[in-house]
Each structure stands twice: as structure tokens, then as C-alpha cells.
Amino acid sequence: MSSRILLTGGAGYVGSHTYVALVDAGHEVVILDNFSNARRSVPDRLAQITGRPVQVIDGDVRDAGLLSRTLVDQEIEAVVHFAALKAVGESMARPLDYFDVNVGGLTNLLRAMETAGCRRIVFSSSATVYGVPDETPTPETAALRAMNPYGQTKIMSEQMLGWLRQSNPDWAVGTLRYFNPAGAHGSALIGEDPRDIPNNLMPLVAKVAMGELERISVYGDDYDTPDGTGVRDYIHVEDLARGHVLSLQSLLDTGESHLVNLGTGRGHSVLEVIAAYKRACNRDLPYTLADRRPGDVPVYVASADKAAEVLGFRTERDIDEMCASSWAWVSNLKARA
């Protein structure tokens, strides 16, 4: 059944892929984005992919009046909330911005939703809430630990949603803890497009493949992992997007809340990612071994069982598909520039 959905941060990396998946699933979607970390060209690309006009509101989640008007005027039935800041290092340098946008923005949004009587929300959380995880693969029951202000804002947001549900059982919340999103849409029209020099492995490897950076620094080869480099659970962004559609559908169908990891349940080391990207781009990818990056965790791998049980969610795409789609996207981006 078709519902009217508001996507905050819908022009961003995960948001834009989720937009396509929601439209494909038959929903009517309105994007609200302030374009602080998204390109203005994204809505046109989304129109090209879906073959339909895209409705975009240029605005900020901290604007209470705008949120209230949007929810009522657009007759919104549920919200998928992506709009947030997400760089760990930046959060250490500018903690107040993170609390303001991530916690303040969510508070604002929830208040506007409560007033409008719209009580269905899918929330973008992160595996970062586990800090240094007690167990690997990490289940949703693992202890929560903030390692930096960014992680703290995700824990606080999850807790705020939990208390809100207790205050009013009409709320239904889908909390999705992402592992490491990677790859791009099959059309090569949308993908990850960081404004500054990226911090994350996959976009950095892409830049080396494009010849825009000379080499990759591999942060640490002395971890207790099979090849000594850090292991992560990379999830294809189109799989991740599908996870949001299932989460939303479950909220709309059952009115019950859920909290799940979204990952593959499989880890890949830094060297494995470089090797996979090399297969995809067929170019040499020079790297040097460097010191460990402060604050890094050796292994992050999801237990993917609960998402399978509760939402019927299983990933379909592997690391080679993530690298191939990333390569197609960055090549296309350059060709159009």
C-alpha cells in the first residue's frame, strides 16, 4: 500500500538510495534536506532514475516551524530520518554541532510529529553505538559505549526514542544500526560523493583508483585479525536501502517497534577491500602500511540474525558488487564533470 513518507536528509548517500527503493515500492516520498553534505544535482538524478518528478523541500531539521508545516501540509504518515552529521573526527573537534544537529534536530522532529499525530519513524543509527564491541559478530543486545560525540548522539537519540515510546505506546520506531555502507546505485547516477577529503576507506580507495590520490594508508597491520588489518562488515547501499523499506513497511503494517543491525554478518579486512577494488577497476592501487588510527576498533561485524527474523532482511550483494558499483559511479561522475 502506498503511504506518504518524509525523508529528512533524503539527498544524502544512504537517503538518496532509500528514496529510490521507497518509490520503487510504491510510496510517495517528500525529501527535506539542507544540502549541507549533498549535491544540488541529486534530485535531478533521482528523477532520472525513477522517471518521476521529485518533491524537495530545502530546509533544516532544526527549523521547528518548517517541520510542523511540512508534516501537516504534505499529509505525512511516516518519517525516515537520515539528516545528521556523521564524521567521527569532526565530532571530536565540534561536539556542540553534533549535539545540536543530531540530538536537537531529532527532538524538534519528534515534537513536530507528536503534534501532527504522525508517530511512525525509521531512525538511522550506527554500529558505532557498540564502541569496542564485547562480542563479534555483535548482537543488538551488546552493551552500548560512546567512543566520541558522534557515537554519543546516536546512543542519546536511541534512548530518546525509547522513552518517547514508553510515554505513548502509539509510537512505532524502527531503529537501524548500520555497519559500513559501501557501493552505489546500479544506474551509476547516485553514490557516495564526499565534499571534503574522505575519511572512510571505500571513497578513499575510489579516489586512488581515479588517480586523484596517490596511495592508500592502511591504518595498522598488527590487529588480531587474519591479515592484521581492520575488519568491517561492508553492506551494499542498495541492500541497506531495502532494509529501510522493510523497516518502514513493518511499522506501517504492525505498529510495533523494532531495533536491528543492518549488516551482512561477514567481515572483510582493509587488504581484502583493496584487492576487491583492484578486481573491479583493473588498475594498480598502491598502498603503504601506516600506524593504527587512534580510536579505531579492530573488528566490527554484525550479527545479522535479528534483522532476518524480524524484517525478513537478508543482504544480496557482496564486496565485489560494492566495489564494481562504486567504480562505475566514480567513473561516471568524472566523465560528467
Interface pick for ligand UFG out of 293, 305, 308, 318 (rule CB under 6 A): 293
Instruction: Give the one residue of 218, 240, 271, 319 binding ligand UFG; rule: CB under 6 A.
Output: 218
Please identify, using beta-carbon distances, which residue of 184 and 204 lies nearer to ligand UFG.
204
Our CB check for ligand UFG shows the closer of 18 and 124 to be 124
* Cα dihedral across residues 227, 288, 298, 183: positive or negative: negative
β pairing state of 78-81 and 55-58: unpaired
Least spacing, CB of residue 278 vs ligand UFG, in Å: 15
Kindly state whether residue 302 participates in binding ligand UFG, applying the rule CB under 6 A.
no
Using rule CB under 6 A, residue 207 touches ligand UFG: no
Cell numbers for 240, please give them. Answer: 541497506
- Return the SS3 of 330: helix
Q: Which of 277, 300, 327, 329 binds ligand UFG (CB under 6 A)?
A: 300
Contact 86, 57 (CB under 8 A): no
Q: How many CB atoms lie within 10 A of CB 135?
A: 12
Of 13, 171, 179, 277, the one binding ligand UFG (CB under 6 A) is: 179
Position 98, amino acid: Y
Establish if 204 lies at the interface with ligand UFG (CB under 6 A): yes
Q: Is 149 in the site for ligand UFG (CB under 6 A)?
A: no
**Residue 287 is among the residues annotated as catalytic for this protein:** no
Nearer to ligand UFG, 62 or 207 (CB): 207
In the complex, least distance from residue 185 CB atom to ligand UFG, rounded to whole angstroms: 19
Of the pair 232, 236, the CB lying nearest ligand UFG is at 232
**CB closer to ligand UFG out of 74 and 217:** 217
For ligand UFG, the closer CB: 46 or 201:
201
DSSP assignment of 139-153: PTTSPP--SSHHHHH
Residues 6+ apart with CB under 8 A from 207: 198, 213, 330
C-alpha distances in Å from residue 113, one per residue of 67, 107, 262: 8, 10, 25
CB of 250 to ligand UFG, least distance (A): 23
Piece of the chain touching ligand UFG by CB under 6 A; list 50-58, 101-109, 183-191, 217-225: 217-225
SS (H, E, C) 240-272: HHHHHHHHHHHHHHHCCCEEEEECCCCCEEHHH
From 60-68, 125-133, 243-251, 253-261, give the range in contact with ligand UFG by CB under 6 A. 125-133
> Using CA atoms, how far apart are residues 11 and 243, in angstroms rounded to an integer?
18
Q: Quick one: which segment of 5-13, 96-104, 121-129, 302-310 binds ligand UFG (CB under 6 A)? A: 121-129
What residues between 55 and 84 interact with ligand UFG by CB under 6 A? none
Residue of 13, 19, 130, 150 with catalytic role = 150
320 and 276 in contact (C-beta within 8 Å)?
A: yes
Stretch that binds ligand UFG, among 24-32, 126-134, 168-176, 236-244 (CB under 6 A): 126-134
Amino acid at the residue 283: R
Contact in structure between 4 and 118 (CB atoms under 8 Å): no
Report the residue number whose CB is nearest to ligand UFG: 230
- Cβ neighbors of 96 (< 8 A, separation 6 or more) are none
Task: Output the CA–CA distances (angstroms, integers) from residue 171 to 163, 202, 244, 253, in the order listed.
Answer: 10, 36, 17, 13
Rounded Cα distance between 158 and 156, Å, is 5
Q: Residues in the site for ligand UFG, rule: CB under 6 A?
A: 86, 88, 126-128, 179-180, 199-201, 204, 216-219, 230, 232, 270, 293, 296, 300
